[in-house]
Amino acid sequence: MKIKGTPLSVPEVDMTPMIDVVFQLIAFFMVLSKFDQEKVDERVTLPKDQLARPPIVKRESAFTLNFGFERDKQGAITDPTPYIFDGDQKFTVDTVRSRLRQEAAFYKAIGRNVEDVTVEIRADALVQSGLVQELIQICQERDIEFQRFALKATQKSEF
Amino acid sequence: MKIRTGTNTTKIEMQMAPMIDVVFLLLIFFMLTLKIAEPEGDFDINMPIGAPAQSAVTDAELPPFKVRMEADPDTGELRQLSFNGIALGSGRGVFDVLNGEILKSVNALQAAGPGNLDRQEVEIDPDYGLRYENIISAISACSGRMVDGRMVRYISRIKFAPRREKP
């Protein structure tokens, strides 16, 4: 008996939907990573400097303190008292201790040595230096005990 | 000879919709990678715990270079910058002068012996009311300078002096 087979056709792979999906995934993960890096507070106007460079080796443990002024939409200072901004909350230098204790307790709870954690200070260009020093001193107090500090600045272009 | 006439050719239709999809995705991709905000960098700094005597020698056994910064009590602007007790002046240009003084000291340190530079510290001693931007400028002047787009490092160990009292 003769069986007639259907003629074989070479299937064509349409690459377009795959490229679509791949780009969607890339965009998705980029947006995720951007949100992860957003520890900055737009109320803080950092000083500018040519030599300010990100660390060559990424710090394993670091947290950021945003220290600046309340500003209006035009960027003018509306309250002369500088605050440490933490999301929706804000603290003065005198009231930030409890928040720093919480942060130190968190690192201890996850088994990190507090002395290895870097405190990145994003202080406004117009803040008084004494207040920044005071903030560092509070971070070093007995029940908080952070020891590493980095002062943030915006990279000023050479041109 | 048999000549084939091209009567069997099929018309190729261009599908534009997938191409537009991909183009829009590329557009979103490059929009996300565009850096709108200026990049940030930082300077490592130490702060001694407690208030040691002013003349204390550091654990590096080299007396620190002292950068004293006096502020105008009303405006918080830099009124006088001194390096190891020598007044250098005020204004934005004074940080270039400080940078030059640090370079001289760095050269002297290197001439004195290898390894001295790594042990040398700079101590920044500002008035309480001084604007913070001046601190960053002073730290930068002590840290190094840019030459042809590359950073030449001077001193990396920088610390604050004990905090001065609020006036």
Residue with tokens 């954690």: A117
Is it the case that residue B82 has pLDDT exceeding 90?
yes
Q: Output the CA–CA distances (angstroms, integers) from residue A47 to A55, A155, B1, B97, B110, in the order listed.
A: 18, 9, 85, 20, 31
* Chain B residue numbers touching A155 (CB-CB < 8 A): 38-41
Nearest Cβ partner for A130 among B38, B49, B128: B128
Domains of chain A, earliest start first: 48-155 (3.30.420)
Closest listed residue to residue B153, CA positions, set B124, B123, B120, B125: B120
Query: Do B154 and A51 contact (CB within 8 A), yes or no?
Result: no
Note the residue count of chain B.
167
The whole model's pTM is what? 0.77
Per-residue pLDDT of chain A (159 residues; tens, 9 = 90+): 566 666 667 777 777 788 888 888 887 877 776 655 557 788 899 999 989 888 888 888 888 999 999 998 888 999 999 999 988 889 999 999 999 999 999 999 999 898 899 999 999 999 999 999 999 999 999 888 899 999 999 987 654
Query: Do A109 and B143 contact (CB within 8 A), yes or no?
Result: no
Interface test with A, best of B20, B23, B30, B42 (most A CBs within 10 A): B42
The verdict on A142 touching B (C-beta cutoff 8 Å) is no
* Chain B residue numbers touching A132 (CB-CB < 8 A): 132, 135
* Chain A residue numbers touching B41 (CB-CB < 8 A): 49, 51-54, 152-155
The span from the CA of A75 to the CA of A123, in Å, is: 15
The verdict on A158 touching B (C-beta cutoff 8 Å) is yes
Alpha-carbon A150 to chain mean position: 13
